[in-house]
Amino acid sequence: MTQDNGELDSLVRKRIRALRVAQGWSLEELATRAQVSQSTLSRIETGQRRLALDQLVTLARALDTSLDQLVETATDDVISNPMIDASHGLMRWPIKAEPGMTVVRQRMTDPPPDNPARMRAHPGREWLVVLSGTAILLLGNRRLRIETNQAAEFTTMLPHAIGAEGGPCEILGIFDRDARRGHQRGDDAGKANRSSAASSSSSSSLPSQSPSASP
């Protein structure tokens, strides 16, 4: 690696040191694992020695990572804005590094449904934490009370539903691809049912008209 790309050069050096510290290794320990001298490793971390490709390969292996990960650049946007679904009180964020994974924040005011037919079951896995208030999770035949700062993790193949207890609650959930799709299908079905019910109610409220009598 040449010094022409000073920003990447500095990033790689900081990354080597950060990975070493995260492992709890001293300079001597990593130098031994990478089969370089302690002084060489120190100069690499502090920018006093040119980064050579063969040394980076050795250091990446010693740090239990790959060369690509060691020299990758942080070009992606760090900040992302939520997709807002106001009708359901939802905010969604995709996880860019894990396609299909989604983070959802939701404010709930209604208790969980009394009718077991409204519990969902679909492939996938879900993790959630209660940010405020108290949530009730119906999971199979169990009724679980989740307090503020408590988390729950479960397979979504178990019939499940969630609601608030004693006032509004706010949850933050992480869905894998299958769990997200299952909830989207459930939301779409719920919208269709509500629309059908509203249409039926509207039709039934119209006055019936008998055929006009023949002259």
Selected residue with higher pLDDT from 120 and 193: 120
203 pLDDT more than 90: no
Tokens of 73: 């650049």
Q: At what angle are helices 38-46 and 53-62 packed, to 10 degrees? A: 100
101: pLDDT confidence band, cut at 50, 70 and 90? confident
Mean pLDDT of 150-156: 95
Mean pLDDT of 12-30: 94
45: pLDDT confidence band, cut at 50, 70 and 90? very high
Tokens of 77: 């946007």
Q: Do 69 and 12 form a contact (C-beta atoms < 8 A)?
A: no
Q: Report d(CA 82, CA 89) in Å as an integer.
A: 12
- 105 phi and psi, to 5 degrees? -115, 130
pTM above 0.85, yes or no: no
Tokens of 207: 């006055």
Q: Do 106 and 47 form a contact (C-beta atoms < 8 A)?
A: no
Q: Report d(CA 114, CA 111) in Å as an integer.
A: 9
